[in-house]
Amino acid sequence: MQDNKSEIRLQVYLAHSGVASRRVSEKIIADGRVTVNGNIVTELGTKVTSSDTVCVDGKEIKPEEVKRYVLLNKPAGYVCSLSDEKDRPIASDILKETYSERLYNVGRLDMFSQGLIIFTNDGEFASKLSHPSAELEKEYIVESSQPLPKDLAEEFEKGVRVDNVFYKCKSARDLNSHKMKVVLIEGKNREIRNVFASRDVVIRKLTRVRIGNVQIGELKPGQFRDLTEQEVSGLLKLCKNL
């Protein structure tokens, strides 16, 4: 952590305190949710030191000494958010009894999908992994309620336009008549679901089984583990924006 004379930008301070990634922290500041020494601050260029009192939503925060990198197999039915106004189950709550640090998700999975998602309190790590230029592969297994159209995988690889949005996966391959493996890089909102729905294919189960070099392995829904140092460094090496 910085000494009393060392100044850092407020959004960096928030990221180092495990509030959110730098990009999300910028929005939190702009929304007027942050105070410095009792005063609301919305200017992103604001700099603070460890002697300042910084609060988010009225709660004081401090940069955390221990960096956490946690892999969760998110069960279906949980949302990837720090809070939910509809009182739906929150994925990060699964980790609260084990980790005292404030952990936030890197990227998202929609409520009805399950599988791998990474939680951390390291803002720099989160920013690098979630930036569009990272081009980090994410692999999914899609199970359908009816036989898959024979040309769907090929079409998805070439690119599909749905409601004026262009979707294109890195690769897609049928595993059997009701199951497909899809690898995404960009990962637009509900990309797989929208492409399948455009062909009237009902998805029965959607599971993310790989993020970069990290595999789901034997991790069951609701289970989690710390990433190894090799996995963390491997993910960073895979990011194209380094």
Q: Which among 138, 213, 127 is positioned nearest to 169, based on CA atoms?
A: 138
* Cα 118 to Cα 134: distance, rounded to the nearest angstrom: 15
* Cα 187 to Cα 54: distance, rounded to the nearest angstrom: 34
Phi and psi at residue 219, to the nearest 5°: -70, 120
Residues 6+ apart with CB under 8 A from 49: 2, 3, 4, 5, 6, 7, 8
* Cα 202 to Cα 67: distance, rounded to the nearest angstrom: 40
DSSP 219: P
Of 110, 163, 174, 200, which residue is the catalytic one?
Answer: 110
Residue 110 is among the residues annotated as catalytic for this protein? yes
Note the helical H segments in the chain: 10-16, 22-30, 123-130, 152-158, 191-198, 229-238
Report DSSP letters for 180-218, one per residue: EEEEESS--TTHHHHHHHHTTPPEEEEEEEEETTEE-TT
**Residue that is written with structure tokens 């920013």 in the block:** 127
Return the active site residues: 110
